[in-house]
Amino acid sequence: MNTEALAPRYRDLESWPTALAVEAMLEGQMAAVAAVQSQAAAIAQAAEAAAARLGRSGRLIFVGAGTSGRLAVQDGTELHPTFGWPIERMAFLMAGGLRAMTQAIEGAEDDADAGRVAIDEAMAGHDDVVIGVAASGRTPFTLGAIEAARTRGALTIGIANNRDTVLLTAAEHAICAETGSEVVAGSTRMKAGTAQKVVLNLLSTAIMIRLGFVYEGRMVAMRVSNRKLLNRARIMVADLSGADADAAAAALEAADRDIRLAILLARGVAPDAARAALEAQAGNLGAAIEALGG
């Protein structure tokens, strides 16, 4: 595997001045981001397929081991506060369990049956989207989970850093950010991990956009959980409704700090009609506005 190979250039890395070593590692991080560029179309296709599959009830199920699993959990965890994605519509299947988020669980990633069992216990089905992440592209736990998910009819997306690997073949949508050897041989928490995070960011955000949780470039479904976000929400309501600051703030409180509902209220839509429009459009603010006549 290229991600495990030793790059001759860095064979004596430990003898380099620290500044040069850091520069070399930074070059690697920049190369990792560049490695994602060729996958833009694949990411877009996967996002569109995922949004179509999820509908009103489907779940996003993230699968991985070690660094890959931790990055997947991080990305998924941020979808609720950022886009209002329901917590009950997410699942995290980590080799070794969620305890492996903070400590290595020996041998967990090598258990393909555990991956299959995890998918069965999660009762993955047709409406669900299962995202498996593995730098090697052949981690048994992740591969077992993807194979089981596909058998159960879920949409599967595989993210890897080595081409022509079994994970990419097993998943319906394959995304390969080929990052090559690491500055520190085999340390895929570096380039490979960075590329995975970029892919996950792009994929999950594109899914949320296609589902209508972004309107005119704003995170209109975000959860208002602190003063900073409350101020941001008030500004959004004012900007997207044309109301003044006081009216926007009042609408936001009347909507129990639901930004999408507040925008409709501030635009003069009656509460019941606003709620019905959002429900009919599965929370898609743009579609709701259009249905209400703009």
Q: Look at residues 209, 50, 45 and name the one whose alpha carbon lies nearest to residue 126.
A: 50
8 Å CB contact between 216 and 91: no
Number of CB atoms found within 10 A of residue 272's CB: 8
23 is catalytic: no
Residue of 61, 59, 70 lying closest to 99 (CA atoms): 70
Q: Look at residue 187 and give its three-state secondary structure.
A: coil
Q: How many CB atoms sit inside 10 A of residue 27's CB? A: 12
Q: State how far the Cα of 10 lies from the Cα of 17, in Å rounded to an integer.
A: 12
The residue written with tokens 């930004």 in the block is 259
Give strand ranges (E) for the chain.
60-64, 90-94, 129-134, 155-160, 173-176
Among 109, 182, 253, 279, which one carries the catalytic annotation?
A: 109
Which of the residues 78, 121, 182, 216 is marked catalytic?
78
Structure tokens at 216: 């005119």
Question: What is the token pair recorded at 37?
Answer: 């560029």
Cα–Cα dist 81/233, whole Å: 13
Q: Does the annotation count 121 as an active-site position?
A: no
Concatenated DSSP letters of 45-90: HHHHHHHHHHTTT--EEEEE-HHHHHHHHHHHHTHHHHH---GGGE
Q: Which residues are catalytic?
A: 78, 109
